[in-house]
Structure 1
Amino acid sequence: MNADLVQDGRAQAASQAGRGSALLTLNAGSSSIKFALYDVDGLQRRATGMVEAIGGAARFKAKDAERKWDDAIEAPAHVSALRAILEWLERDMAGVGIAAIGHRVVHGGMLFDQPALINDDVLEQLRTLVPLAPLHQPHNLAGIEAAREAFGNVPQVACFDTAFHRAHPFLNDCFALPRELFYQGVRRYGFHGLSYEYIAQYLRTHFPHHARGRVLVAHLGNGASMCAMRDGRSIASTMGFSALDGLPMGTRCGQLDPGVLLYLMQLGMDVKDISKMLYERSGLLGLSDGISNDMRVLLSSERPEASEAIAYFVSRVRREIGGLAATLEGLDAIVFTGGIGENAAPVRERVLAGMAWIGVEIDEARNRANETIISSGLSRVLALRVCTDEECMIARHTLRTAQLVVASQEAL
């Protein structure tokens, strides 16, 4: 670990007592680290930002209530990206002291159904899950390891995308495979749990009647999934054993006949080649014949391959709405969130077109204006557009977990 990074982090920890305390949330992806800074008292958000294009033309971006930063930086790896965040905290945020750090971790497996205080044992258990989420877990762990080195004894908490789905009924988690595989961990885990948990809490506050009912949430973005909730709890998810299953995504395939994989293996493709294809060359990118994995680019393109990729995406979302509504035995509300769900009005319109049979009627003007309620007054099912906030959930979990640790230490 770089000595300067460790020194910077220890300086942050040392400054904590004299300069006020804050929570730092880190969301490390394959080529970016998103972060947010919160006051410990009241969890008021101070600032947000990200280091993007790690390993390439990296940029540091951040903003608070009064200022914005957007600078090119040298960040060949995650550790150098974290160093840039540390330097910004010390230089531009008055050296705010960090009381605790929360990390988004994509996969918690069977072991973790709640946020966990990170120690050596927890980190080792999380490493065993890397094969289940190869696109995300290694970078989540790299962010944790770098932050542990940098911040010394500051409490750090892992918040899991799978935890929200751990109470599914057996039928919604199993595959029709030999049963012993289920007990070995070959089961549906579901992902985007931090996003779904935020939406569930948002509904309890703003739409309490619907929150107690049957709700479908569509988290549509570069990663995409849907979750069926009853009384704010996850009942079923489109994502399964890995983050490949269910809906097509930016570069991931979504639902796929396993016979296709057997056929590709017979043609001579090995595990590495197949994995790269399924995770990095499929989805919207593959269907559009390489035009883009970005829905905005596809919507603006006149090429038929772009239109066909969008049509496939929409058709799969519509198909999952029907299946999950059957699982819930009806529908009271549907919520769109995520980058596409929040911002792509044409996609929402196409998904909900002709859905009166299930009780949804869209208000086209509200939808185009990106209002919160996008269903018409005649719609039996409430349709919403809600901006998710995974960082907020990480901060809440981190504060609660850190407080429990302090309380247990004081009791000793």
Structure 2
Amino acid sequence: MTAVLTVNPGSNSLQAVLVDAESEEVLARATDEAGLDDLLDRDLAAVGHRLVHGGSQVTKPTIVDDDVVKAVEAASSLAPLHVPVTVRLLAKLRERLPNVPHVVCPDTAFHRNLPSVAHTYALPAEWREKFGLRRYGFHGLSYAWAASQVQRPNILAAHLGGGCSACAIQDGRSIDTSMGFTPLDGVPMTKRSGSVDPGLLLWLLDQGLTVDEVRDGLYTRSGLLGLSGGISDDTRELVAAEDDQAAFALAVFAHRVRRELAALATNFDHIDALVFTGEIGWDQPEVREAVCVGLGVLGIHSGLAGNRDDDGPVSPPDADVPVFVVRPREDLQLCRETVRALA
């Protein structure tokens, strides 16, 4: 096993990274399909595909065959911004590289052993059984990497990026998380709403909005974009805007992340670390500070340092609960899981 190509299609992006599986050195990278095409001419040992939602059938890193493709396709409606792109790229790359093993690595795998009290919805039993209704959880590749970099027993973690979530990690495994059946749940995101009263959604449908209109609003016009009145979905732009509506959007966002972290903390008898990761979590000290301002009740305090060049603490040395930042490296976690699936 030498070079592994990792393919990570996000809701608004594409990251393709060629990784030496032994040294975990990045050999090359691309951020669009033209660049990805160039990487296909390399000598590849395997291709690892990030799969945001594997549904009830693809629950761990899995070698791809036609049956696995059908299972992935069946999960498309559960993550409509992500899975259809993965399906398309899977077809393209399997055709271009028919003799190279392909592995799908679901983000849901990290959360597949959530305790039943954490993953079960208070819905009719016949619905849960017929439709496989449960809390799946997402951003698993990111959380698995973060947990490997901050090896503490009880970790509160926040992945803040285009998609945002929070997770309680105990001894390296997920025991509770903010996202549920789909990646729309939990805290507000850049364009996605996060949790909304289901009664509110039923009311909107009763007012004449169509299912497609509600879906579009929740997935593409909500979150920071909706809160800021359309100013921006980028936290950096909102911080720089010096606008009341932009400041309000950031305040709501921080409040919701803070509240979710506090709720997840009830899974522990003590907290050993708070970890920020994701593009925003890694690179936005203003957002980290705003989240921590109200967490003193958990022993987490504000007054954090700014950005650093490597992973590590941003809290004072004497902090009751240290706060860490971890650069998101889903590419390296994809490589690791691909290698394990093929072993």
TM-score range, shorter chain: over 0.9
1:125 aligns with 2:71: yes
1:354–1:84 Cα change, 3 Å: closer
What is the distance in 2 between the residues matched to 1:30 and 1:350? Answer: 26
Alignment TM-score, normalising by the size of structure 2:
0.95
Equivalence map 1:232-243=2 (5 Å): 232-243=172-183
SS at match of 1:367: coil
- The one-letter amino acid of 1:37's match is L
Shift of the 354–279 alpha-carbon distance from structure 1 to 2, 3 Å rule, reads closer
Counterpart Cα distance in 2 of 1:35 and 1:196: 19
Q: Which residue of 2 aligns with 1:164?
A: 110
CA distance in structure 2 between the aligned counterparts of 1:334 and 1:304, rounded to whole angstroms: 29
Give the number of aligned pairs: 341
Q: What is the alpha-carbon distance in structure 2 between the residues aligned to residue 368 and residue 120 of structure 1?
A: 45
2:306 is matched with 367
Q: Which residue is 1:26 aligned to?
A: 7
Gaps of 5+ in 2: none
CA distance in 2, matches of 1:31, 1:265: 28
Residues 179 and 330 of structure 1: is their aligned pair in 2 closer, same or farther, counting only changes over 3 Å? farther
Q: Which amino acid aligns with 1:394?
A: L
What code does the residue aligned with 2:237 have?
V
Whether 2:36 is the aligned partner of 1:85: answer: yes
For residues 369 and 398 of structure 1, the distance between their equivalents in structure 2, rounded to whole angstroms, comes to 30
Partner of 1:194: 141
CA RMSD, Structure 1 to Structure 2 (Å): 1.7
Q: Distance in 1 between matches of 2:301 and 2:157?
A: 16
Q: 2:36 & 2:73 partners in 1: Cα distance?
A: 25
**d(CA) in 2 for partners of 1:49, 1:264:** 41
1:351 to partner: Cα distance? 1.1
State the distance in 1 between where 2:204 and 2:184 align.
Answer: 17
Task: State yes or no: 1:400 paired with 2:340.
Answer: yes
Q: Corresponding residue for 1:383?
A: 323
Equivalent runs, 1:209-228 vs 2, <5 Å: 211=152, 213-228=153-168
Equivalent residue number for residue 271 of structure 2 = 331
Superposed, which structure 2 residues align to 1:12-411 within 5 Å? 22-51=3-32, 81=33, 84-86=35-37, 88-89=38-39, 95-183=41-129, 184-204=131-151, 211=152, 213-364=153-304, 366-367=305-306, 372-402=312-342, 404=343
Alpha-carbon displacement from aligned partner over 1:283-329 (angstroms, at most 9, x marks no partner): 00011010111111111112211111000000001111210011223
CA contact 2:192–2:218 (8 Å) conserved in 1:
yes
Shift of 1:30: 4.2
> For residues 401 and 377 of structure 1, what CA distance do their matches in structure 2 show?
39
| Cα distance in 2 for residues equivalent to 1:261 and 1:354 | 30
Post-superposition offset of 1:160? 0.5
Q: After superposition, what is the alpha-carbon deviation per residue over 1:164-191, rounded to whole angstroms, capped at 9, x for unaligned?
A: 0010111111111112222231111100
Larger Rg: 1
**Secondary structure of the equivalent of 2:31?**
strand
Does the 8 A contact of 2:59 with 2:108 survive in 1?
Answer: yes
- Cα distance in 1 between the residues matched to 2:228 and 2:3: 44
Corresponding residue for 1:59? none
Letter of the 1:187 partner, please give it.
R
Cα distance in 2, alignment partners of residues 199 and 49 from structure 1: 23
Most deviating of 320-329 and 263-272: 320-329
Per-residue deviation, 1:21: 5.0
What is the distance in 2 between the residues matched to 1:337 and 1:355? 18
Instruction: Give unmatched runs, 5+ long, in structure 1.
Output: 1-19, 52-80, 205-210, 405-412
Per-residue CA deviations over 1:169-219 (Å, capped at 9, x if unaligned) read: 111111111122222311111000000011111123xxxxxx2x2110100
Cα distance 1:133–1:44, how it changes in 2: closer, same or farther (>3 A)? Answer: same
Q: Between the two structures, name the one with larger relative contact order (CA 8 Å, sep ≥ 6).
A: 2
